[in-house]
Amino acid sequence: MLQHLDDPDPFDASPALRAGVQRRAAQLRRRRVSFASVVAIVVVFGFATASFAWVRMRDDNIQRVHLADGTLTDVAPSEPVDIVLVGSDSVSTEMGGPRADVVMLVRLDPAAGSLHILSFPRDLIDPRTGGRMADVLVGHDATAVVDSVHLLVSVPIHHYIQLDFQGFVALVNEMGGVRLDVSAPIADRFTGLSLPAGCSQLDGTTALGLVRSRHLEVDGVADPTSDLGRTTREQAFITAALAQLSSSATDPLTLDRYARILGDHAVLDDKLDFTHLVALGRELRNVAPNAIESFTLPSTPATQNGAAVLISSAADADMARRFLIDGTLPGSSTPQDGAPRLRITSC
């Protein structure tokens, strides 16, 4: 139809055209290679920049606290790291400041792949202030908490992590809940907790009810162990959660959601940057469930200003230190007489 637009002179593919095609093709191929490498460089560089920016952003979002110089000890990578872990009712400064609901000292030994959790009873007398451990956080002084823990067990402490209740709930929910097997039905009218015997999936709120419960009824009978029983339940819960954490995903998106939760609900010491935190998480995942041991600092009941308190001795501190370092548990630690036996395990 458009033949009238054709070249009246015949066209044939001359050797010159062939040679031109080959020359140009060689040129194009070189260009394609260099274009591909430019794209690759841009992609790699862009990705690195983006992840760096992301880490910085998440890092900046997390509340930091600077502890007085000399409070925290530097730790070499792959050396055992001792972390003071505080569960508080809030990280905000409002309403008279947070209270330490839970104080723990955890030792993560990456080389041995072990995790030792030492709990401090709430009613334990803090030798530094003479008050209770529960009140040690009032005034928002992370240095004070670490100093008190250090004074009680005299081990060098490397990091400080504080998490509030909502953060705990959010973390458990982010994990998709934690499965616990309880040997008897338990309930707490104060926290609203109610679990049947056997295996159940605990969401964040239920889990918080369990670890906070101090008025537990086991099989309808009040548990007289109160706070000490609570400590063992906390330890059982953490053991189960960590066992189930290792099977949950660690893709960047999941990590990002965990990081967001920490940003909203945690306070970390300013030496614990995000890269460090991710490394700790990785080491935590390498801990086998049977390499997690927990222990409560031994103490003797006493009365102080008419209130029931607990006092730990130098011998108690030695025991706790031995436990922290090599996981040795002193002989039998049977529950108090008449206490209903309650076993909580992962399932």
* Locus of tokens 């030695």: 318
CB of 31 to another protein, least distance (A): 9
Applying CB under 8 A, what is the total number of residues that bind another protein? 25
Task: Check binding of 66 to another protein (CB under 8 A).
Answer: no
Q: Which helix (H) or strand (E) holds 159?
A: strand 159-164
CB of 74 to another protein, least distance (A): 56
CB of 42 to another protein, least distance (A): 22
Q: Which residues inside 109-138 make contact with another protein, applying CB under 8 A? A: none
Please give the C-alpha separations between residue 199 and each of 179, 183, 217, 242, in angstroms, as whole numbers: 7, 9, 18, 17
CB atoms within 10 A of CB 89: 16
| Helix (H), strand (E) counts: the chain | 8, 16
3-class secondary structure per residue, 121-156: CCCEECCCCCCEHHHCCCCCCHHHHHHHHHHHHCCC
Stretch that binds another protein, among 4-12, 71-79, 114-122, 300-308 (CB under 8 A): 4-12
CB of 278 to another protein, least distance (A): 42
**Pairing mode, if any, of strands 292-296 and 114-120?**
parallel
CB of 11 to another protein, least distance (A): 5
CB of 1 to another protein, least distance (A): 5
Q: Which residues inside 17-56 make contact with another protein, applying CB under 8 A? A: 17-18, 20-29, 32
Based on CB atoms, which residue is closest to another protein, 6 or 69?
6
Q: For residue 179, what are the β-bridge partners?
A: 201
CA angle 259, 275, 109 (to 5 degrees): 100
CB of 41 to another protein, least distance (A): 22
CB atoms within 10 A of CB 333: 10
Based on CB atoms, which residue is closest to another protein, 20 or 192?
20
Based on CB atoms, which residue is closest to another protein, 20 or 156?
20
Backbone phi, then psi, for 83, in 5-degree steps? -125, 130
Task: Check binding of 15 to another protein (CB under 8 A).
Answer: no
Based on CB atoms, which residue is closest to another protein, 21 or 57?
21
Stretch that binds another protein, among 6-14, 63-71, 231-239, 336-344 (CB under 8 A): 6-14
Q: How far is CA 221 from the centre of its chain?
A: 33
Task: Check binding of 315 to another protein (CB under 8 A).
Answer: no
CB atoms within 10 A of CB 286: 13
Dihedral sign from CA coordinates of 299, 323, 100, 128:
positive
Can you give the binding site for another protein, defined by CB under 8 A?
1-9, 11-13, 17-18, 20-29, 32
